[in-house]
Each structure stands twice: as C-alpha cells, then as structure tokens.
Structure 1
Amino acid sequence: MVSNGTNSVPWSFFLAILIAIVFTPKFSFAKQSKLMGMKMNTIDRCWRPNPEWRKYRQQLATCSVGYVGKMTNNIGNDLIHYKVTDPNDDPINPKPGMLRYGASVIQGKVWITFQKDMNIKLIKPLLISSFTTIDGRGVNVHIADNACLMISKATNIIIHSLRIHHCKAQAPGMVMGPNGKVIHIGPVDGDAIRLVTASKIWIDHNTLYECEDGLLDVTRGSTNVTISNNWFREQDKVMLLGHDDGYLRDINMKVTVVYNHFGPNCNQRMPRIRHGYAHVANNLYLGWMQYAIGGSMGPSLKSESNLFIAPKIWSKEVTWRKIGNTNEDKWKFYSVRDAFENGASFMVTKGGRVPKPNYSKEQSFKVVDVKSIRSLTRSSGAFKCSSTSIC
C-alpha cells in the first residue's frame, strides 16, 4: 500500500512527549513510568519516550548520530508511505505489497512499514534504493533462510528493527535493481547486510545472526556509516569494514560503531578494519574466540568506553593485527576509558596522538561512562514491542 505523506516532523519533542503522556489514556501510568524511568542512550531517548511514536515515525530520522549524521533527507512532505502486506518475493517482477516493490521499484523518499508479523524468504538479494527507510518497529519481521540485503551505489538509507539471519550465498542472476530496472548481479557470499559503494547509511536496532559468511560488510568505498543498537550473535565473522587489502579507496571510509551488543558466541571481526577509520564507542562485548577488533593495511581506530568481557577460554586479547612486511608500524589502535573484565587486554599503539572522530555538530554525541554500558545496550537488537505496546 502506497500513499503520499504530508505530516511534518514534530520538532518540539519534549512538548509532544508531555502532551502524549497527559492526554493519551490507553497508556497506563505504570507503562508510562516504566518507559520514562528506563536508561536510554542518546538515539533511543530521541524517540522512544513518546508513547505516540507510531503517529510520528519520521521523528526517527532526526535521531541518528555518528558519521551518518541526521537522516532528514529521508523525510518531508514528498515522502511516500509504503506498507508491506505480502511476505512473498519475486526478484524480477515484484508485485505491489511485496517488500521488494517498495525497496527497489519505487523511487524517491520511501518509508516502508509492515502490516503484520512476517517471515520473508528472499529469492535473490534485496537491492535497496536511495532515500529508503525500512522500519520494522511494532511488528516481528524476519528476513531469513536464503538471500538477504544489499545496498549498492545508493545513499540515505535506514534499516531499522529487522531480524536477519541464516542468510545463504547466492549464484549470479537477474534481479530488480535499486533504480527500478532489472539488472544482472554477480555471486554474493551470504552476508546479512552488505554495503557496496554506499554512503550515508544507518543500521539501527537490528538482530543479526547465523549467516553463511558475515553479518555486516562495509566495502568498496562505502563511507559515512553508523552502526548502532544492533545485536550481533552466534557468528564466526561478524563485521568487515573495508573490501580487501588492495582496495585503496577504502582509506576514506569512516564508520561509527556505537551501542551495539556483540555476543554470545561471536568469533572475530567486531569489527575487522582495512585502510579506513572507525570510532567504536559504548559497545558491549560478551566474549570472543579469536579476537574482537582487528584488521590490516594500517587502519585507524578509536575504541572508547567499551566493555570487553573476555571468554573463560580462548584469547583474552581484544585486538588482532595481520602480520605483513610493510604495515606493522602504521597501526593506530587506541583505547580510551575502555573497561576490561575476566582478564581482557588491549594492545594499543604506543605514542602519538589519539585520533579524534572530528564529528560535525549534527554527527556528534556524548560518549557515556563505561559503567552504564550494560543498561544502555540492554535494548539492543530488534524491538519486541507489539502494534500497541511501548517499545
């Protein structure tokens, strides 16, 4: 179902929250008190306290932080509202009501929601058009058991509150492209979400696990990405930032990794970085087997106020560095106000200045004390709220 939206975004959030609480009888005082008393990180605090958030879904676009900046290009009076009503998939000729029709066929600013709980088995990778928001809040949406999501040569995309798992490698074939035209794509490895030459991408509050290759790849010149509030679990290779050692364009890659929950049963790449820069802040690491953070080709990383809980067995060291002949001395891995439990340790770069993210005003956020990490990541992953309950 498609409609043109004309509602403007409520900028006076605190006033809206107060009015909604006072004049909305269907939310009990107990629920209101529970919601307002929860500890929330800066992203969630921007929209979750409003019990009427379903009427103002676009408010989410003003809540992002980090290198993605604000997602206000995704909203406005020309926004198209699209509701997924059909869990089936047709990779070449998707019908109205299917997820692929809203994500690939419709062009312009599209805000996608779901009519009900759904299990979607994609026949081919879903290529998402620029200025698209996929918003799974209020329902339980699984994308699983075959192809998953790809963002290729696209910009201004939000992926929110989906459960993506058991993704499988795909052979080459024809598929509806992000420009609304059928294209040929090569083989894909079986990642939950793969970014290829993409920019201004926000991946928030998703649950990702048990995929054939990795859970999230940021590759081939992709940049200005924020990965926040996700739950990554049950996976060997979790997150790859940078295509390969020879892809020099990734030197310009900038990624923010914040408020995520890693584990249980994650092995490595949380993340693995090549060439570019990552600000990894306020995340919870619930163990690892090989390592938590690593990479190659002289990447730069600022690890800030993360909680690293080492496994009972396997490696206690957080970091890993690929051994090479030319780049060992170019590592810039810094740990600032991190906390280490169960014997965890972090091998830092000695000397030099700790690199700053150099965020703009709209990208910046306050990194909180590591003592709050358990509570601030408690809601990581896709929300369990129903169509009527609070999130």
Structure 2
Amino acid sequence: MASKEVLAIVFLSILLHGAVTTKVVDGANVIDRCWRGQPNWAANRQRLAACSVGFAGKMRQNRGPGVIPYTVTDPGDDPVRPRPGTLRYGATVLGGKVWITFQRDMHIRLAQPLFVKSFTAIDGRGADVHIAGGAGIVLHRVSSVIIHGLHIHGCRSQPEGLAVRPGGAVQPAGGMDGDAIRLVSSAKVWIDHNSLSRCEDGLLDVTVGSTDVTISNNWFFNHDKVMLLGHDDGHAEDRRMRVTVAFNRFGPSVNQRMPRIRHGYAHVVNNVYLGWKDYAIGGSMGPSVKSQGNLFVASAAADNKKVTRRMPVAGREWDWASIGDSFLNGAVFKQTGSRVRPNYNKHQAFAAASSNQVKSLTKDAGVLRCSVGSAC
C-alpha cells in the first residue's frame, strides 16, 4: 500500500474515532455499557462474564464462588512443565474454573501454542500484556472461554515440539501456522477488546465445527488474512457454525477476510472497515451473512470498491444481506438471496445500532487502558 494511502487511512481513523478515551461509554455499545462505567470493576471482575451478547450468550459458567482466581506473575513459558505463576500453568494445567489476571505489564513469548482449557477467562485488564513473537493461542475441543484485553502480535509457526494439553497430557504441538487465536471444535467462546496484528497466518480462525462464538470490540490492523470462519470447503460440519462479529475495528492496512465464511452463519454488525485491498467480507460453500449497521470506507486509491467476494460452488445458495450499512469512497455491497435472521435467544439478543453511531461504538475497540480505582 502506498505511503500516502496509509497516511490517508490513518487520518480517516482519527476522524472516525477521535481521541482515545476510557471514561465515556457510548450508550449503544451494550457490552461496554454493562461494566465499564464502574470504578470498582477490578473488585468485581467476574461481572464481565454477564456482559457478552451474540451467539456466545452470557458467559455465566465462568463466574461464581467456585471460580479460582489466578494471577500471572512470571512471563516465562515452559510448554512441557509449566511453572506456577506462568500463563500456561493457569490456562492449561490448573484444574477447575479459573479467572486469570496479570500482576503487572508483561511480554510473553510462547514457545509452543498455548492450549486453553474449558471454563477459563484470560483477563488482561489493568496491565499491558503482549503475547508476541512466538506461538499463539489455541482452543481445541473446549467451551466457556473468555479472552479479553490482550495485545497479540507477531505470532509465528514454531519448530516441532511438545506442549501440555488440558488434562495434563504432553503431546506434539505441530501443525500450527502462526495464527494469533485459533478455535478448533470449540463452542461458547467470547473474544473481546483485544488488539491483533502482524501474524504469520490468520489473526483469528474459527474452524472444524466450532460454533456459538462472539467476536466483539477488537482491533484488527496491519495484516493480510484477518479472520477465517470455517475450516475448508469440504468440512460440512461447519454448517452449524454461528458467529457474531460486532463493534470491531478493521484497519488500517488490512487486505481481506473480515471475515471469510464457509458453510455457516455470520451476523456482522456495527463494525467499522477502514479500507481493504481484495475484499472485506467473503465466503464459499453458500454461507449466510447478515451485514447490519456497519460502516464500510473503501480505500480512496484502491481499484476494488467491492465489500463482498463470493467464491461460488455450483448448486449452493447464497443468502447475503446488507441492512442499514453505510458506504463511503464508492464502497458497494452485492446482495443475493434472502435475509436470514440470527434467531438469537434472550441471552444472546441485542439491538443493532444505526451505522451513523458506529464511529462512537468502535472508538475504544482493542485493548483498553484500565487502572484500578477508576472507570475503565
């Protein structure tokens, strides 16, 4: 991307989002309104678990008197024999329901992928935590997981090695391509307020039958292939996949897959898109997409103004609808088929805001600056 175009997109981002603030919570962002205005958020961290919406629903199984509080004090990583105090020990080895926080700012380089167990919340609020320069995070056949408040960047595929898995077995950890976060056959997962960029492969993959996932309030930037929903064209199990993509900021310097969907259903709502090169939303194998109340800003110098890209397969039906989206710089969305509703239950449902509210809804996307004793 030309340097002048990058500067133009950065300037547009500033205009859209304004100065960074952690004090004022936009009333239409139902997730942030639920917890951010409370000065005592650090004394009641588990309140966050009741604030999720979309297909993940409320994460109430991650809260309660049986949850073990665990503090990361050591940024080191031994993938085979994790030490108490490290992130891997709390996220993989420690039994029961766990709520993980961080004692201080830290940079963690994972020597092998971090396999997170079920009923785990990783909560970076109050510290500046970077998972960077090594492997990424894997959710493999787990449920009820929250990942909140982490900088994840520079993830790379690692040489073949061993890593402990949930339950204590030490197994080969090969086959990981350098994703920031990968979901494999997992359900009821909430990814919220993280900043993700510059990884070797994807920033976020939801694959192999994973479903009931909410991806909200994240900032995705400086990356090619951003988000993949669905393993491959031949994996029919992903037809049951349901993912909510809400209140996120895409860009600057993003190329494609925001998201790319195979087979399943995606509700893409109240996000801002600050340019793309190939496409913003794409798919194959006839997925259903409801794009609602988003703001699509095509790059001024880009040849491609099309928001969507379909990779057609004969005999597949496409139900892609744009409802209340806004388009700038010539952006255009091609609709096909019927409007398919997400059919949320009462624990998942939320009201979509108008696209003219998106710049305020997403101004604090990514990691928040939270201090104990003041509103986040």
TM-score of the superposition, structure 2-length normalised? 0.92
Using the alignment, how far apart are the partners of 1:224 and 1:34 within structure 2?
Answer: 29
Corresponding residue number in structure 2 for 1:207? 195
Map 1:1-391 to 2 at 5 A.
35=23, 38-39=26-27, 41-314=29-302, 315-327=304-316, 330-350=317-337, 352=338, 354-391=339-376
Corresponding residue number in structure 2 for 1:7? none
Given that residues 292 and 322 in structure 2 are in contact (C-alpha distance below 8 angstroms), is that contact kept between their aligned partners in structure 1?
yes
Report 1 or 2 for greater relative contact order, CA contacts < 8 Å, sequence distance ≥ 6: 2
Given that residues 215 and 237 in structure 1 are in contact (C-alpha distance below 8 angstroms), is that contact kept between their aligned partners in structure 2?
yes
Given that residues 304 and 338 in structure 1 are in contact (C-alpha distance below 8 angstroms), is that contact kept between their aligned partners in structure 2?
yes
Work out which of the two has the higher radius of gyration on C-alpha atoms and give 1 or 2.
1
Using the alignment, how far apart are the partners of 1:34 and 1:142 within structure 2?
Answer: 19
Using the alignment, how far apart are the partners of 1:80 and 1:34 within structure 2?
Answer: 28
Give the C-alpha shift of residue 235 in structure 1: 0.4
Give the C-alpha shift of residue 384 in structure 1: 1.8
Q: CA RMSD in A?
A: 1.4
Given that residues 40 and 373 in structure 2 are in contact (C-alpha distance below 8 angstroms), is that contact kept between their aligned partners in structure 1?
no
Using the alignment, how far apart are the partners of 2:24 and 2:276 within structure 1?
Answer: 34
Q: 1:323 to 1:357 in 2, by over 3 A?
A: closer
Corresponding residue number in structure 2 for 1:27? none
Give the C-alpha shift of residue 307 in structure 1: 0.4
One-letter code of the match for 2:202?
G
SS at match of 2:369: coil
Using the alignment, how far apart are the partners of 2:46 and 2:289 within structure 1?
Answer: 32
One-letter code of the match for 2:311?
K
Using the alignment, how far apart are the partners of 1:34 and 1:48 within structure 2?
Answer: 8
Using the alignment, how far apart are the partners of 1:261 and 1:294 within structure 2?
Answer: 17
Give the C-alpha shift of residue 332 in structure 1: 1.1
Q: Which ranges in structure 2 are unaligned for 5 or more consecutive residues? A: 1-20
One-letter code of the match for 1:48?
R
Using the alignment, how far apart are the partners of 1:87 and 1:387 within structure 2?
Answer: 21
**How many correspondences in the alignment?**
355
Corresponding residue number in structure 2 for 1:11? none
Corresponding residue number in structure 2 for 1:19? none
Q: Which ranges in structure 1 are unaligned for 5 or more consecutive residues? A: 1-32
Give the C-alpha shift of residue 289 in structure 1: 0.5
SS at match of 1:102: helix
Q: 1:128 to 1:371 in 2, by over 3 A?
A: same
Using the alignment, how far apart are the partners of 1:294 and 1:345 within structure 2?
Answer: 13
Given that residues 87 and 120 in structure 1 are in contact (C-alpha distance below 8 angstroms), is that contact kept between their aligned partners in structure 2?
yes
TM-score of the superposition, structure 1-length normalised? 0.89
Using the alignment, how far apart are the partners of 1:121 and 1:195 within structure 2?
Answer: 20
Corresponding residue number in structure 2 for 1:25? none
CA offsets, 1:157-194, max 9 Å, x none?
00000000000012332101022321223320000000
